[in-house]
Amino acid sequence: MNEETVGSMPEDVNAGSRPYRSPRRAAQAAATRHAVLAAARELLGEAGYAGTTVAAIARRADVAVDTVYASVGRKPEVLRQLVETALSGTDETVPAAQRDYVRRIREATTAGGKIAIYAGAIAGIQQRLAPVFLALRDAAARDATTASLWREISERRARNMREFAADLRATGELRDDLTDDEVADVLWSMNAAEYWVLLVEERGWTPARFAAWIEDAWTRLLLARLDLPGCSA
């Protein structure tokens, strides 16, 4: 078979071995998913989980109800995807180890450097995550499916903080009188959406001030050596 013959063969000869994916169709699907998630995020902030129906999401996104189900899923799955995309900063779920800020934390060589990167990341994440996370918490009190999702994500947060504590411990700079579990609990409590809401939404702190506070507080609370004004080693 020569090149001319190959060039003249119908395009669908190998269709059975490799499915065709239209870039245009994929882009349309991504745009629809983005619109659905954006609409759901807005409605959750306005009406809460109970007041946000799939029909309302569809109307806000200007799509059919079946399109919401096809592009994202039922309401609990919409809520899950809002949490996951708030964490990733994209329209897709990104595992923690693959997120840019996590990679930078692991590449940093000092505990202070790791804390600074994470504190800055939290300020960005919570602007997206806090309203969604609190809606999930409130829904979990009334709905078994979302309660299961709430436990799953809360437990995952705790595991991630234990990994972060171990990463900090590996630098040799953590206090010896704190266990990794204690360090993880401090991190877990202060990176929570509830803590963000108290200081940023209720007390009017800026995200930059919040990030600076978290960095300073963790440095003073958790590190063995404090090379800071007013602090002794």
pLDDT in tens, 167-178: 999 999 999 999
Q: Residue 233: is its pLDDT beyond 60?
A: no
Q: d(Cα 181, Cα 166) in Å, to the nearest integer?
A: 9
Q: Residue 1: is its pLDDT beyond 70?
A: no
Q: Residue 12: is its pLDDT beyond 50?
A: no
pLDDT at position 10, please? 41
Q: d(Cα 36, Cα 44) in Å, to the nearest integer?
A: 12
Rg (CA), the chain: 23
pLDDT in tens, 175-230: 999 999 999 999 999 999 999 999 999 999 999 999 999 999 999 999 997 554 44
SS (H, E, C) the chain: CCHHHHHHCCCCCCCCCCCCCCHHHHHHHHHHHHHHHHHHHHHHHHHCCCCCCHHHHHHHHCCCHHHHHHHCCCHHHHHHHHHHHHHHCCCCCCCHHHCHHHHHHHHCCCHHHHHHHHHHHHHHHHHHHHHHHHHHHHHHCCCHHHHHHHHHHHHHHHHHHHHHHHHHHCCCCECCCCCHHHHHHHHHHHCCHHHHHHHHHHCCCCHHHHHHHHHHHHHHHHECCCCCCCCCC
pLDDT in tens, 76-102: 889 889 988 888 887 788 887 888 899
pLDDT at position 146, please? 86
Range with the lowest mean pLDDT among 64-68, 81-85, 88-92, 111-115? 88-92
**Residue 13 CB contacts under 8 Å (≥ 6 apart), including other chains:** none
pLDDT in tens, 136-161: 888 888 888 889 888 988 899 999 99
Beta-carbon count within 10 A of 189 CB: 11
Tokens of 157: 């947060």
Residue with tokens 């990030």: 211
Beta-carbon count within 10 A of 101 CB: 16
pTM of the model: 0.78
pLDDT at position 9, please? 36
Q: Residue 8: is its pLDDT beyond 90?
A: no
Most confident of 2-16, 27-41, 73-87, 106-120: 106-120
